[in-house]
Structure 1
Amino acid sequence: MHSIDEAIGVMPGWQLDLLQMSPGRLNYSLSLIQLGMIQIFRERADKMLLKRGLSWPGSLVLSFLVNAEGTAWLSGHEVDPDVCLMVDGQFLPEILTPRSLDLVYVAIDRNWLAAQLSLRGFDGLANYIRAYSSIAMWHAETAAFSRCLSGLLSETTCAGSASLNSIGSSAQDYVADILLNVITSARKVEVVSDTSNKLIIDKARRLMLRDCSHVPTVTKVAAHLGISRRHLQTCFNNSVGLPATEFIRAERLNMVRKALIQARREKRGAIIGDIAAQWGFWHLSRFAADYRDMFAELPSETLRPGENADVRSKMKNTSQIG
């Protein structure tokens, strides 16, 4: 299994931010195959993650659930496990994953995919893809499509890059046909946009993370937004399935972790207490306990250099193909 910060390094063209949102030692893996213009990823995690960032310009990302335990959230909506999600890769919407996840997702050029749909006589769907950022699609064959894509990725990963190169354009055409079948066989297609609850919690999060040297209480943030504390808590529960304080604390702990990892990579000295204070953690013993509960290690262990050398080597050898 691989740490999140190392896994992201094998995603060419992506700038992805993954935050661990549920406590415990995270087991995470990511594998990739590149087929011309198409990237296929398989991601496994046993903790809830908050995913945000962007893929390469002009890309469209389609996700296929292989297996999951718990609820995923996108734009304030609970994600139906039978849904294939299609989102704008250049401006990826935030998604909160289930507590256990096995997912295949595919990045492809949006305009090329829309043009292929038009060539097949699906101008309406092509225009839909060009016009909207996030789309949900329901159809009866979600599991079959997931198996096809995950099977292709497993086979090429086991066979190695030489086998993949021998497949050539036929593999790219095969995957493109799967994606076109997914879109054209959907029994229902809907645009996904932020709920009113999600818009409210995003305003609250900006206020609570704007100046972490003085993190306002949920009560004060609710008053600033002109709503009750109870209503703000309800917005969080209905948008991400977590209480406000728990969600914000997890975000801030992840920001500390990112800063410690950056200091480790740059081999520069860092004072843990100073970094913690920048993100609103003033009681250092309590912070260390919260950090250990969330990541199953102390801040000093995150900062210790050299501990991920074997992970880096393994990622280069097994996770990037093509």
Structure 2
Amino acid sequence: MDGRVLDPPQDSAYGKLAVSRIEDLAQAVLGSGLKAQQMDAGQLNACLAFVATQRMVCTTGLLNSKISLSGTLSETDITLGVGLQITKGSLQWLHGIESGTVGVFLPGEEHEALYMPGSLYLGLTLSHDSLAWEAEQLEIDIDPECLATGHHPQLLQNSFLNLLRVQTAGLHRDGQESLHPAETANLALETLISHLGRNPRQICGVPSIRGLEHVVRRAIDYIDAHVNEKISIEELALASGASRRTLHRAFEVILNDTPTKFINRRKLHLIRDLLMSGERATISDTVASVGITEFGRFSFNYRRMFGETPSETVRSARKIFACA
């Protein structure tokens, strides 16, 4: 699969995309249009693979860079996800996840994740009716309480996890044709349905945000609401209801980051979005509009983050719009 605009593959089709631009990870779950941000500077390194059958779309991602993803996975369908190989420090809704974590994402509900380098995940998107039909064929009764957005309280059993990991990793390697991608998707569907039907317990749902997680959440909300302004650490601490020391500790413990680096990264991504939008504003005006006054340092940080200059981003955007 080549190009930057990804359409859902046809029935029983397979596609793969080597990702080098952050915009491509909007399709980290095919059809979702997620907001993707790279959290470390340097060349982005990831791979997406897609399998479509009559009943579902299967998406798997191998992320070799630190990536943040947020947004709605589907407005109409349910998504079942599993972390096949999750690197320590990865989060969903600011809650730590590990290999074998199974998630359920209902239509229209927000997903938020931070994946550390080396993480491999798989997601299945299908209608409620298709899920119910598949469960009936397997003679499995899915407890309705399991179908709530959040994490299943039990990890996927190691035997199933290892088998699914090996099958899925093959989709990201060259010469995968002999692996029958549709069989991998079907194996994943049967595995996750069986997991949801085993000893049903009440789902924990989206984890409650306490302590340091609560501080980080309020800080991020404030940053996103004021990202086009200058944000001081003092006002950020006040908005998060914490001291400066606690604010720094919260970001270090939860995100392995600092508030200042987080703010600057958000601003860089906002500027990139504006430059990619095709608007006619000059680069300097765009930079100034988000509260950055040191253009020289900005240019250095932008190139270090995205591997290209702001001018190169603008030229790429113009080519895209010209082709459209």
Are the counterparts in 1 of residues 215 and 241 from structure 2 also a CA contact under 8 Å? no
Aligned residue in 2 for 1:203? 218
The answer to whether structure 1 residue 158 and structure 2 residue 177 are counterparts is yes
Aligned to 1:129: 146
2: CA distance between counterparts of 1:261 and 1:87?
A: 30
- 1:296 matched to 2:307: yes
**Cα deviations across residues 82-139 of structure 1 (Å, max 9, x unaligned)?**
323333352232100112333222222245435654786765x421233x21123312
Aligned to 1:72: 90
CA distance in 2, matches of 1:18, 1:238: 22
Distance 1:302 1:35, change over 3 A: same
Relative to 1, partners in 2 of residues 1:151 and 1:308: Cα closer, same or farther, differing over 3 Å?
Answer: farther
Do residues 181 (structure 1) and 197 (structure 2) align? no
Q: 2:98, 2:184 → 1: CA distance? A: 29
CA–CA distance in structure 2, aligned partners of residues 157 and 270 of structure 1: 45
The offset of 1:255, in angstroms, is: 1.4
1:210-241 superposed Cα distances (whole Å, 9 cap, x missing partner): 23443221222212443211222233233323
Q: Which residue of 2 aligns with 1:319?
A: none
- Going from structure 1 to structure 2, the CA distance change for 1:235 and 1:171 (only over 3 Å counts) comes to closer
1:23·1:47 contact (CA, 8 Å) conserved in 2? no
Query: SS in structure 2 opposite 1:32?
Result: strand
Q: After TM superposition, what 4+ stretches of structure 1 lie above 4 angstroms from structure 2?
A: 9-12, 114-123, 149-157, 170-175, 185-190, 306-309
Q: What is the SS of the residue equivalent to 1:22? A: coil
Change (3 A) 1:10 1:195: closer
Structure-2 change in CA distance of 1:176 and 1:226 (3 Å): closer
Superposed, 1:68-107 pairs within 5 Å as 68-107=86-125
Query: Helix, strand or coil: the match of 2:74?
Result: coil
Larger helix proportion of the pair: 1
Aligned residues: 298
Displacement of 1:306 after TM fit? 7.2
- In structure 2, give the amino acid aligned to 1:281: I
CA shift in 2, pair 1:85/1:284, >3 Å: same
Unaligned runs of 5+ in 1: 313-322
1:239 paired to 2:258:
no
Root-mean-square deviation (CA, aligned residues, Å) is: 3.5
Decide whether aligned partners of structure 1 residues 117 and 203 sit closer, same or farther in structure 2, where only a CA change above 3 A counts: same
Contact map agreement 2:47 2:63 (CA 8 A) in 1: yes
Give 2:191's aligned amino acid: I
Match 2:35 to one of 5, 10, 17: 17
CA contact (8 A) 1:145 1:182 kept: no
Distance 1:146 1:200 in 2: 35
Structure with more relative contact order (C-alpha pairs < 8 Å, separation 6 or more) = 1
Please point out which of 56, 70, 75 is paired with 1:57: 75
Of residues 26, 30, 41, the one that matches 2:48 is: 30
Query: Which piece of structure 1 moves more, 270-279 or 204-213?
Result: 204-213
Range 296-305 or range 58-67, more displaced: 58-67
Q: 1:221 aligns with which of 207, 227, 236?
A: 236
Gaps of at least 5 residues in structure 2 are: 1-17
SS at match of 1:305: helix
Assess if the C-alpha contact under 8 Å between 2:87 and 2:119 holds in 1: yes
Distance in 2 (alpha carbons) for counterparts of 1:219 and 1:84: 38
State percent identity of aligned pairs.
17
The letter for the 1-side match of 2:230 is: V
- Report the TM-score, using the length of structure 1 for normalisation: 0.77
Q: Which amino acid aligns with 2:65?
A: K
Deviation at 1:290, TM superposition (A): 1.3
CA 1:38–1:308: 2 relative to 1, 3 Å: farther
